[in-house]
Amino acid sequence: MLDEPRSGRLAAWGNALLAGLVSPDEAAHRIAEDDAVHRVEGLPGEAAPVGLTLALGRLRTLGAVGLRVALPVAGHPLGLCGPPEFNARALEAGEAVLAVGAGLGLVPETYEAGPEGGAAPDVHVEVVWRCLPVREAPPADVPSLGEAERELAEALREATEVLSKLDVAGSGPVAQAALEAYRARAEAGRQVLAP
């Protein structure tokens, strides 16, 4: 099954909302996906946690012109721009979203309730996005477009070389199952990507 990071869904559908391509309710529904509830805590101007629809609107009024994903790992905090508290939380979560123009970042914390090893319908997942101030500067470790293109071409060459040596003739059952899950989502009428 394909498993997108929650920050990817928030950024994709949040950007579609900011561009006027989807309604606030549609964006919130697509971001939450199969989770029971998403809330945003610590949003300026709000004393208590709020739902995604209100939070996305508030981010827009606070100056957000876009949302950017950060997927940091220990030793390589790609996409983070500080301060240390935000960076530490994002590293612990392994993902974050930065609201460009608003000086805010969102880090997800998930809480699950239900039987251990239970199936998806039996597990209640609540996501709380912690809203924290961030620096309004591009992260120093994000490569330029030219560098990114060069690194991508290099990685593709290396991957092609490795796959050629492995003499991989088919995709295998795991890759086939992921492809079938993707196709099933598309056939079920669910929009796979945000506009």
Strand partners, 113: 124
- When mean pLDDT is compared over 99-108, 149-158, 173-182, the highest value belongs to 99-108
pLDDT tens sequence across 37-76:
899 999 999 999 999 999 999 999 999 999 999 988 888 7
175 or 121: which leads in pLDDT: 175
Q: Which H or E run contains 32?
A: helix 24-32
Of residues 16 and 162, more confidence is placed in 16
pLDDT at residue number 170: 59
DSSP labels, 38-90: EEEES-TT-SS-EEHHHHHHHHHHTT--EEEEE--BTTB-TT----HHHHHHH
The better pLDDT of the pair 134, 138 is held by 134
Average the pLDDT over 16-26 and give the result. Answer: 94
Answer for the pair 52, 118: CB distance below 8 angstroms, yes or no.
Answer: no
Instruction: Please name the helix (run of DSSP H) or strand (run of DSSP E) that holds residue 12, with its range, or none.
Output: helix 6-18
Q: How far apart are CA 101 and CA 111, in angstroms?
A: 29
| Rg from Cα positions in the chain | 19
Q: Half-sphere exposure (CA, 13 Å, Cβ side) for 69?
A: 15
pTM: 0.73
The mean pLDDT value of the chain amounts to: 84
